[in-house]
Amino acid sequence: MKKKNILLLYDNRELDRQVLRPVNYDSFEEEWIRQNGGNAGNKLFNTAIEQYLTKDDIEYSYYTGSESVNEINEKYDLAIFTTANIFNAHPRIRKELDAFAATIEQFRIPVYILGCGLQCASYDDISALAQEIGASARTFMKAVYRTGGELAVRGYATKELLDKVMPNTAVVTGCPSFYQRGSEIRVTNDKVEEEQFKPAVNGNLKYLKQIGMLKAFERYADSIYMDQDEFAEILYFHSKKKICIAELVRKKTLCGVKLLAQDRVRLFYDVPVWLAFFQEQGISFSCGSRIHGNIAATLAGIPAVVMYRDARTRELAEFFELPNQAEYDSHKSLYEMYLEADYTAFNRNFARKFQAFERFIVSHGISHDLNDRSLFEKQMAKQEWKAPILRGQEARDHIRKQFGRWESLYRLYETGIDKLRGLR
């Protein structure tokens, strides 16, 4: 049987694409520094893509940068490029968009763009974004279409942007990460009593502070902060350098440092461990501004509400009909938000969205039968997936000791910083 050979055009980020074996936390620090940081949400995305390609008749490999375009054209049947927010006015991202277009123009194999989307503050900015990046986006799309490829976009806002740029046949499929547990995902509308309510909150800590959401950690003493990148260094680096608590408060908020001191921060870079944590710890609700943090919870069957802060997050939450909102009502508890969240529409329509994504994948000859995860799960079962041992014990002991002794002073320090910011 001749196997289909697929090239994955990903960034060279070992932690993000190390899917079929557990992350080695002994070398986590080295990899994190080498790849200039990371985001556990990328791992959720990459795990999904590899799952869809783990079939008996498919071989796939990552682009290393060492292959010439001619070698790629000779060796591979098609290429897949995954990028979340490539349609973006940021100068660095726009430069990347131009570079990707120049590379893809040289391909003689079909290139499929999966899960791509826009990045702008709100839907009102779509027209301005189209004008600003129109030439680059048009060149990129034409390069894809010249190969015989196609684009699968995250939501209808991105489709609106592309329609303003040029005629296209891009398909709205949502994010591929949401389909990795098959078409039968359901989120219960049954509610636990508040005494049993255990929320997991995600999102940039400074943003959560800005909208007044950090108060939830005080109200729910056993709540967890589900981190994706903010405290990776403190949790997993071996560094013995002395930590300045005041500087940490300035960068990560007083609440964030307190959560560290109370051992209420979790960051998982292995998806099986991440999803299992929700069930094993009895998490009953997920809420925050990290779209993949909330997708991870939903994949584990945990109700989630997305607090969107831009068009990128909003379009994805709306596409999947996950409960979402732009404003956080600080007069309302997380438990009240949980009680109001309704997953009827999500449950009713998710299978149809899964089928549309699978139709895109199958019709373009990328893979088949995405509900059949047996080979992928067989390979995953060869590994032992365990919660990571936190490496930065000395750093966390220092934080716990110093914070416990001087919490009131750090609180005054943060209050002073906030007042200075208010005077700007």
414 φ/ψ sector (left φ>0, alpha ψ -120 to 50, else beta): alpha
One-letter amino acid at 400 equals R
Report the side by side order of strands in the sheet with 224-226: 265-266, 224-226, 199-202, 285-288, 304-307, 324-325
Phi, psi of 285 (to 5 degrees): -160, 140
For the beta sheet containing 150-153, the strands, ordered from the edge strand earlier in sequence to the opposite edge, are 58-62, 4-9, 78-82, 111-116, 150-153, 171-172
Predicted local confidence at residue 172, as pLDDT: 98
pLDDT digits (tens, 9 = 90+) for 276-301: 999 999 999 999 999 999 999 999 99
Residues 6+ apart with CB under 8 A from 377: none
Closest by CA to 87, choosing from 77, 97, 101, 95, is 97
Cβ neighbours of residue 108 closer than 8 Å, sequence gap 6 or more:
73, 147
For residue 14, the model assigns a pLDDT of: 83
Give per-10-residue mean pLDDT for the chain (424 aa): 90 82 92 90 94 97 89 97 92 94 96 96 98 98 98 98 98 97 96 97 96 94 96 86 88 95 95 96 97 97 96 97 93 95 98 98 98 97 91 80 88 86 64
Q: Which residues pair with 306 in a beta bridge?
A: 288, 324
The residue among 288, 273, 191, 209 whose CA lies nearest residue 23 is 273
Q: What are phi and psi of 22, to 5 degrees?
A: -65, 150
Beta strands 285-288 and 265-266 are: unpaired
Gap between the Cα atoms of 186 and 216, Å rounded: 26
The set of residues, in sequence order, having a beta carbon less than 8 Å from that of 264 and lying 6+ positions away, is 217, 223, 224, 225
- Write the DSSP symbol of residue 8: E
The model's pLDDT over 140-187, given as tens digits with 9 standing for 90+, comes to 999 999 999 999 999 999 999 999 999 999 999 999 999 999 999 999
Distance CA 363, CA 365 (A): 6
The tokens for 346 are: 């999500």
The values of phi and psi at residue 278, to 5°, are -55, -45
Predicted pLDDT at 67: 87
Which pLDDT belongs to residue 277? 97
Q: What is the DSSP letter of 370?
A: T
Q: How far is 201 from 40, CA to CA, in rounded Å?
A: 15
- pLDDT attached to residue 259: 96
